Amino acid sequence: MKTYSLFIMGLLLIASSVNAQDNEFAPGGKPVLRIFSNYNTTITNGETGSAFELQRVYLGYEHNFSEYLSGKAVLDIGNPGAGKLQMTAYVKNAYLQYKNEKFVLSFGLISTTQFSVQESAWGNRYIAKSFQDEFGFNSSADLGISAAYQIFGNVSVDVIVSNGEGYKSIQADSTFRTGAGITVKPFKNLTARVYYDFSNKVNTQASVAGFLGYENEKFNIGAEYVVQLRPEFVADRTWSGASIYSKFNITDNFNVFGRYDMLTSNTVSGETTDWNIAGDGQWYIIGFEYSPVKGVKLAPNFKGWNPFDNSQSFVSTVILNLEVKF
């Protein structure tokens, strides 16, 4: 807590310094609203089920106090997936941020950095979470502090210290999750990133992730790989996975996309099957996206889940995803 207090004091000093130098800046902000909805038909074991779903609503506000200092607060309203509750609200973001041309410092309930570059490269959060978010390698937001610095024009480094519990289960204890990453753009349109983090309890949980992506005006492709040792601090357990995704822009408002994921886990000594056999498998997504107007996206697509557990059946889902954003 002493460390956090020092960072808060530093942000306040930065804010006062910036305001003293920038008398012409006019403070202002804007609302944040994103809606994810869909209609889907799922087929498994010869049985079919259809449903309309409101998956998620992000509702909040972001405000620029000065040219360099801003704040953001966002509620995440979604289906908890259990019990009789239809929608549950969580605070997704609530932070203060200082940002200039080369340096960014964020404090509060912030977005984590383990898969932020990958999520941006995938670009279709309303259709599916990015790989590490989908399978639970880390939360997309957490209480903590992060900093990023652009060393050169094509090299940047970042560090983060977070609570490690995610934004849906914030608890105050002495266990933190510490991570660091480096992002390099060796050539135009090409991005490479390596990230490592760890957290200590009875055992040490550690994650290593790598990403390589290429993007131009017509086409993009990205590939990532992650391995996590002792997930949930359980000794002898390891799981890992890879994700490959691509998009081709046919026109300014129409594109086709595809994605392939694979998740595997190890077999613990004394066991006969992988410890996560019920969740291991392959995931396929293919579809197209159409944007009739700015802020609205429609994406008819097919999702297929091929479980590695032979007692489970292949799951097919035909779905129409909708995003509204302004």
| Rounded Cα–Cα distance for residues 88 and 34 (Å) | 16
| Rounded Cα–Cα distance for residues 269 and 66 (Å) | 57
| Rounded Cα–Cα distance for residues 72 and 84 (Å) | 31
| Rounded Cα–Cα distance for residues 210 and 183 (Å) | 10
Q: Which residue has the tokens 């997930």?
A: 231
Q: Say what the pTM is.
A: 0.88
326 residues of the chain, pLDDT tens digit each = 444 454 555 555 555 555 445 557 889 999 999 999 999 999 998 899 999 999 999 999 999 999 999 999 999 998 766 555 677 888 999 999 999 999 999 999 999 999 999 999 999 999 999 999 999 999 999 999 999 999 988 999 999 999 988 887 766 667 899 999 999 999 989 999 999 999 998 899 999 999 999 999 999 999 999 999 999 999 999 999 999 999 999 999 999 999 999 999 999 999 999 999 999 999 999 999 999 999 999 999 999 999 999 999 999 999 999 999 98
Residue 48, token pair as written in the block: 């079919």
CA dihedral 180, 109, 202, 231 (to 10 degrees): -70
Q: Quick one: which of 194, 291, 214, 280 has its CA closest to 252? A: 291
Give 253-290 pLDDT, tens digit per residue: 999 999 999 999 999 999 999 999 999 999 999 999 99
pLDDT the model gives residue 11: 52
250: region left, alpha or beta (phi > 0 left; psi from -120 to 50 alpha): alpha
Residue 167, token pair as written in the block: 């934004």
Amino acid at 37: S
Q: Quick one: which of 83, 132, 118 has its CA closest to 220? A: 118
Give 128-181 pLDDT, tens digit per residue: 999 999 999 999 999 999 999 999 889 999 999 999 888 877 666 678 999 999
